C-alpha cells in the first residue's frame, strides 16, 4: 500500500513537471522572424549599391531580408507597387507625387543616385549628322524625350538654366530610349535626352553632348521609396535596409572595381561599355530637400500632370536614415 502511494505521487510530480515545462515554453518569447522587403528594380545603374549590399551579405548582417524583383519598364514597376506585390522601388519624385496626389501611398526614404561634377546622370545629346554642337543651337529644335517624366523635366530645367524661354524649348515624344538612340544615330532625330550609361554608349557611337546635369544635381536625381503601409508596419526593417545600403554605398565608392561584376550580371551597362564604364559616385544618406520637391511639383503643376499640390512632409522622411 505504501509503495503504491509513492508511485501515485511520483506520477503526479511527473505530470506537474511536464505541464509546467509546457507552460514555460508557451510563455517564452518566440524568436522574431526576419522581415522580408521586396524591392522592384529596373536595370539601371542607380541600383548598384542595393545589389552590392545583397552580394556582400549586408542586409542579413543588419537583420533584414531583401528580395529583388527585376522589372523591365516603369509601368510594370508601378503596377507591382499598386498591387502590393512590391514594397519599395527606385523611382523619382515625380512618380511619388503621382502616387500621393490624393493620399500618401509612398514615402521617399533616401536618394538613390544624384549627379556629380564627375558623373552626370542625364545628357542632352545631338546627332552627329545634325551639325549641332552647342546648346544655343537647340533653340526651336525638337528634342526627343519621354514626356511627363524626369527626362522631360531635366530637359526643360537644363535649357532654362541656359536662358531658354518656354517658346524656345521644343520636345518630341519618343518614349523608348532605344528608339531615341536609333533615331539619333540615323540623323532622323536631331537631339534627345538620355540617361547614363546609355548616353555614354550613344556618344561612343557619335552623338554629341551639348549639356548635361553635372552642374545641376538638384534636377536629375533618383530616390528610394517604400509603400507607407510597409514603413508603418516595419520601421525597424526600413532602418536596417538603409543601414545596410549606407555600408554598401561606402564600399562601392571606395572600391568600384570590386563591384564591376554587378554591371554585367544584372545587365545594367551595355556590353560595349563593360570594360571602360566607370561607376558613378553614389550619394551618402540624405533625402530631397523641400526646394527640390517644390521645383519638381511646380513643373508638374505647370504641365497639368498634377491636380493640386502634394505635401512634402508626408511624402519625404529622413527619420530612418543611419
pLDDT at 19: 43
Q: Is 15 left (phi over 0), alpha (psi -120 to 50) or beta?
A: alpha
Q: How many structural domains does the chain have?
A: 2
pLDDT tens sequence across 80-90: 999 999 999 99
Residues 210 and 225 placed together within one structural domain of the fold: no
Answer whether residue 297 is part of any domain. yes
Residues 305 and 246 placed together within one structural domain of the fold: yes
Q: What is the mean pLDDT of residues 127-139?
A: 96
Answer whether residue 292 is part of any domain. yes
pLDDT at 98: 96
Beta-bridge mates of residue 69 = 40
Reply yes or no on whether the pLDDT at 29 is more than 80: no
Residues 155 and 94 placed together within one structural domain of the fold: no
d(CA 69, CA 92): 18
User: What is the bridge-based pairing of β-strands 36-41 and 106-113?
Assistant: unpaired
Return the CATH number at 71.
Answer: 3.40.190.10
Report the mean per-residue pLDDT for the chain: 91
Answer whether residue 19 is part of any domain. no
Residues 152 and 211 placed together within one structural domain of the fold: yes
pLDDT tens sequence across 158-210: 999 999 999 999 999 999 998 999 999 999 999 999 999 999 999 999 999 99
Answer whether residue 16 is part of any domain. no
Answer whether residue 306 is part of any domain. yes
133 lies in which domain range? 122-215
User: Which position has the higher pLDDT, 214 or 20?
Assistant: 214
- SS3 call for 271: helix
Residue 214, exposed/middle/buried by CB under 10 A (0-12, 13-18, 19+)?
A: middle
Residues 188 and 152 placed together within one structural domain of the fold: yes
Residues 110 and 226 placed together within one structural domain of the fold: yes
**Structure confidence at residue 35 as a pLDDT band (50, 70, 90):** confident
Last residue of a domain, one of 168, 183, 215: 215
Residues 227 and 269 placed together within one structural domain of the fold: yes
Q: Which of 15-19, 58-62, 235-239 has the lowest mean pLDDT?
A: 15-19
**Structure confidence at residue 118 as a pLDDT band (50, 70, 90):** very high
- Tell the residue number behind the cell numbers 545634325, with chain if given: 130
Residues 108 and 226 placed together within one structural domain of the fold: yes
pLDDT at 33: 66
Q: What is the mean pLDDT of residues 280-301?
A: 98
Amino acid at each position: 500500500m505504501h509503495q503504491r502511494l509513492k508511485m501515485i505521487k511520483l506520477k503526479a510530480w511527473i505530470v506537474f513537471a511536464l505541464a509546467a515545462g509546457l507552460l514555460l515554453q508557451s510563455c517564452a518569447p518566440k524568436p522574431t522572424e526576419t522581415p522580408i522587403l521586396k524591392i522592384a528594380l529596373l536595370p539601371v545603374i542607380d541600383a548598384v549599391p542595393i545589389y552590392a549590399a545583397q552580394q556582400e551579405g549586408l542586409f542579413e548582417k543588419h537583420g533584414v531580408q531583401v528580395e529583388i524583383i527585376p522589372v523591365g519598364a516603369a509601368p510594370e514597376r508601378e503596377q507591382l507597387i499598386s498591387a502590393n506585390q512590391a514594397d519599395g522601388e527606385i523611382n523619382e519624385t515625380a512618380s511619388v507625387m503621382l502616387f500621393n496626389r490624393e493620399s500618401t501611398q509612398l514615402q521617399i526614404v533616401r536618394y538613390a543616385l544624384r549627379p556629380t561634377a564627375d558623373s552626370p546622370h542625364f545628357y542632352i545629346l545631338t546627332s552627329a549628322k545634325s551639325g549641332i554642337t552647342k546648346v544655343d543651337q537647340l533653340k526651336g529644335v525638337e528634342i526627343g524625350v519621354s514626356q511627363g517624366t524626369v527626362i522631360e523635366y531635366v530637359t526643360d530645367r537644363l535649357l532654362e538654366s541656359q536662358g531658354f524661354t518656354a517658346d524656345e524649348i521644343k520636345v518630341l515624344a519618343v518614349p523608348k530610349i532605344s528608339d531615341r538612340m536609333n533615331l539619333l544615330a540615323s540623323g532622323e532625330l536631331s537631339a534627345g535626352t538620355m540617361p547614363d550609361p546609355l548616353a555614354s554608349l550613344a556618344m561612343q557611337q557619335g552623338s554629341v553632348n551639348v549639356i548635361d546635369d553635372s552642374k545641376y544635381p538638384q534636377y536629375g536625381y533618383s530616390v528610394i521609396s517604400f509603400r507607407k503601409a510597409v514603413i508603418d508596419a516595419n520601421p525597424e526593417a526600413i532602418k536596417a535596409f538603409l543601414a545596410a545600403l549606407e555600408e554598401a554605398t561606402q564600399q562601392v565608392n571606395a572600391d568600384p572595381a570590386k563591384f564591376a561584376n554587378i554591371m554585367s550580371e544584372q545587365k545594367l551597362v551595355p556590353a560595349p561599355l563593360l570594360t571602360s564604364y566607370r561607376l558613378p559616385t553614389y550619394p551618402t544618406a540624405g533625402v530631397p530637400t523641400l526646394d527640390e520637391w517644390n521645383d519638381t511639383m511646380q513643373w508638374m503643376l505647370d504641365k497639368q500632370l498634377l491636380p493640386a499640390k502634394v505635401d512634402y512632409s508626408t511624402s519625404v522622411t529622413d527619420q530612418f536614415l543611419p
